[in-house]
Structure 1
Amino acid sequence: MSEYTAKVMWHRGTQGFLNNRYSRAHSWQFDGGIQVPASSSPHVVPLPYSDPAAVDPEEAFVASLSSCHMLWFLGLAAKQGFEVNEYEDNPVGLMAKNAQGRMAMTVVTLFPRVAFTAASSPTKEQLIELHHRAHDQCFIANSVLTKVQCHPVFE
């Protein structure tokens, strides 16, 4: 068993609060010391009360699923002798009403593009299987109700 922590910090300062006109900008700090600017999504809370330059929880959720999948994929590829040169994903999360009628991240679709060395490229079937196994092993995908799809990009 492992435990993971983060620190989330927000300060009101001199702005009003009870009128609901306050900045949702805040920061996330992680165990390695990095601090990340965060905010509500401008799709949820309009400007100027959101910071579009900061990471919002919805974006972080999508990136977390993609990152976990990638890390499992890289590990599995290495074990099978497939040398990866580059991995890029442009995941998309869809916010919609779930079965209970509440807004939720209902689907996250990954679009990974992987470049291998010429001497160790998997077949299309092996690549699909690697992605399937990575999805099955991903801690984050195993932790959520969100449907996670993977559509590898073939070149």
Structure 2
Amino acid sequence: MAAYEAKVVWSRGDQPFLDKRYSRAHAWTFDGGAVVAGSSSPSSVPVPMSDVAGVDPEEAMIASLSSCHMLWFLAFAANAGLVVDTYVDEASGRMGKNEQGRGYIAEVTLRPCTSFTGRVPSQDELDALHHQAHDHCEMAHSVRATITTVATIG
């Protein structure tokens, strides 16, 4: 099986620490060299300790699920002879509490809007392609959240 790596770096700098008002801003570095600014969610830790410009872990999880789903969808659409021009997903997630009362991402909604050149699939065919993509998405298999896809053609 493939292995994946990410490097997460945080540094206190000259700020106090024990008062718990330290910055949660940090950097994610990926094997290809991409660097992404990360932070805690302002919903969890207030600004200025959170950096609203950084990607928080919850947003990253939603984006990861959306991206994985899209990549599988594009592959299956190509196999079906469909020419996809654009794919835009305004995905969202909702937090919930598990049996132990701990927060987790309980629901994810993917809202892909796809445009095509040439043959445009019916809604049933579009839904079937998205169902197939969901069944193959490794990220979707990695979470316990309920994932719903509401697909449209744009």
Q: TM-score, normalising length from structure 2?
A: 0.97
Q: How does 1:110-121 map to 2 (within 5 A)?
A: 110-117=110-117, 119-121=118-120
What is the root-mean-square deviation in Å for CA atoms of aligned residues?
A: 0.9
The structural deviation recorded for 1:19 is: 1.1
- Distance (Å, rounded) in 2 between the aligned partners of 1:54 and 1:143: 24
Q: 2:73 maps to what in 1?
A: 73
The structural deviation recorded for 1:100 is: 3.1
The structural deviation recorded for 1:146 is: 1.1
- The C-alpha deviation readout for 1:47-94, integer Å capped at 9, x for no partner, is 110000111101000000000000000000001101101100000100
Report the AA paired with residue 82 of structure 1. L
Report the AA paired with residue 71 of structure 2. L
The structural deviation recorded for 1:34 is: 1.0
| Segments of 4+ moved more than 4 angstroms | none
- Distance (Å, rounded) in 2 between the aligned partners of 1:153 and 1:92: 16
Q: How does 1:3-152 map to 2 (within 5 A)?
A: 3-117=3-117, 119-152=118-151
Report the AA paired with residue 136 of structure 1. D
**Is contact 2:115–2:153 with CA below 8 Å preserved after alignment?**
no
The structural deviation recorded for 1:154 is: 4.1
The structure carrying a bigger strand percent of its residues is: 2
The structural deviation recorded for 1:104 is: 0.5
- Distance (Å, rounded) in 1 between the aligned partners of 2:46 and 2:95: 16
The number of residues matched between the two structures is 154
% of aligned pairs identical? 53
SS at 2:125 equivalent: helix
- Distance (Å, rounded) in 2 between the aligned partners of 1:116 and 1:53: 33
- Distance (Å, rounded) in 2 between the aligned partners of 1:153 and 1:49: 39
